[in-house]
A and B are shown apart, each in its own frame.
Chain A
Amino acid sequence: MNAAFYVVGQSPIHRLPAGRKLATLALAGAALMWVHQWQFLCLALVLVLGLLALSGVTFRQLLIQVRLLGWFILALGAYSAWAESPALALEMMLRMSTLVIAAQLVSMTTPLTQMMTVVEKVLAPLDRLGWVRAERVALACGLTLRLIPELALQWQDIREAQAARGLKPGVLTMLLPMLLRTMRRAEELAEAIDARSSG
């Protein structure tokens, strides 16, 4: 599942702790909102591209992830240039591109497990306050990840069963059986979990 997303590596960026990367990203993002001169925004973009080079993530790998966003930014930039002013459009496009690349860079150099640890740390004080049951959140996350391959297989099963019966399997015809099986599975799983935790 993680195939083309997290880029394995040992660069300085990879080795930064996840929490620090995220905090820096958030601060940088907020700070850039106050910068309006295109020269400074250009500088920020160049800086981020430099970090990208440092990380070992290739531009091509990044592009696969952000291509769609790139088109959106271009389209909005074009509209903004026409409806407002080219200067404003340029400012918006520079800022957004910088932030998009920076954000994706953090994501691509931080494996899911590290991100989960950050979430745990953030939830810990909330857990102590009694607002959130951290173990329940962990259960939900873990279960979801575990169930994805199972449900994907179930989808395949339904498709084959329908094809074998001569029906043409389309998303619409497969949806109801899929949902029914899913709902029924919930019952079994809940019992299994309860049995395990009380036994």
Chain B
Amino acid sequence: MKTKDIVLVALFTALLIVLGLIPPIPLPGVPVPVTLQTFGVMLAGLILGPVRGGLVLLLYVVLALLGLPVLPGGRAGLAVLAGPTAGFLLGMIPGAILTGWLAGRPVAQGHLAQGAGVWWQVLRCWAASMLGGVVLVYAFGIYWMAHVAGMDFPKAVWVMLVFVPGDACKAVVAAVVAQRIRRLNLV
């Protein structure tokens, strides 16, 4: 872990925090305004890779639990761990790791980065974002919620499905944006 890696992790965590403090955005056709949290999972994994991306989310979660008001709405604290949504928060860490791992190494400019190669990269990033940032996070979240509330796992999945379209859009934006950054080979 070089200094630059630590700096990148710290910077990205700070970025996640700043993005998280932006008020939720209403999207047409989605019942609940979308927050930028899952976005952070996707971007961290796609841009920094599984190890540093995972560390970013770990730092984010730890700081939130320690008391930094970085959760949506300026919230923070240990209460989240005691509540039904703990799985969603903690699940962001493996989510970023999975996204980073599935997206693979960035392909440097000029090599598969033209034409159809770009679309393939974006698609791969999108799939990685969906599987890591959405499916895995929800899996953790729903599992924990079902466990503490005695809720039926399949029924809980149905409830969560309402969020998927919004998240699919987020994943598209994340993939497109991340792809532009990955190509530049800055990391």
Residues of A within 8 A of B (CB): 1-6, 25, 29, 65-66, 68-69, 72-73, 76-77, 79-80, 83-84, 88, 92, 96, 99-104, 106-108, 110-112, 115-116, 119, 133, 136, 139-141, 143-145, 147-148, 150-152, 155, 171-172, 175-176, 178-180, 182-187, 189-190, 193-194
Contacts and interface: CB of A to CB of B under 8 A. Distances in A.
Given A65-B76, A96-B82, A76 B10 contact: no
A92 B67 contact: no
Interface residues of B, number: 57
A77 B151 CA distance: 10
A20 B37 CA distance: 32
When A and B form their complex, which 3 residue pairs have the shortest distance between CB atoms, in order from nearest?
A107-B77, A143-B10, A99-B82
B26 interface: no
A133 to B, nearest CB: 8
A104 B155 contact: no
Contacts of A88: 150
Contacts of B152: 83
Contacts of B111: none
A29 B82 contact: yes
Given A79-B151, A175-B173, A189 B14 contact: no
A136 B6 contact: yes
Contacts of A193: 3, 7
B3 A104 contact: no
A96 B149 CA distance: 9
8 contacts: A2-B69, A96-B83, A99-B83, A140-B10, A140-B13, A145-B14, A178-B15, A183-B184
B68 A76 contact: no
Contacts of A76: 84, 145, 148-149, 151
A150 B63 CA distance: 18
B59 A186 contact: no
Interface string B9-29: 111111101100110010000
Nearest to A92: B149
A103 B6 contact: no
A43 B81 CA distance: 22
Contacts of B177: 175-176, 179
Interface in B140-187: 145, 148-152, 155, 173, 177, 180-181, 184, 186-187
A188 to B, nearest CB: 9
Contacts of B17: 144, 148
A79 B149 contact: yes
Contact of A3 (B13, B69, B81): B69
A176 B4 contact: no
Given A92-B149, A183-B186, A68 B73 contact: yes
Contacts of B11: 143-144, 147, 151, 182, 185-186, 189
B92 interface: no
A103 B12 CA distance: 28
Of listed B14, B66, B82, residue having the most chain A CB within 10 A: B82
A107 B7 contact: no
Contacts of A172: 173
Contacts of A1: 68-69
A118 to B, nearest CB: 9
Contact of B22 (A6, A92, A116, A171): A171
B82 A102 contact: yes
Interface in B57-90: 59, 62-63, 66-69, 73-85
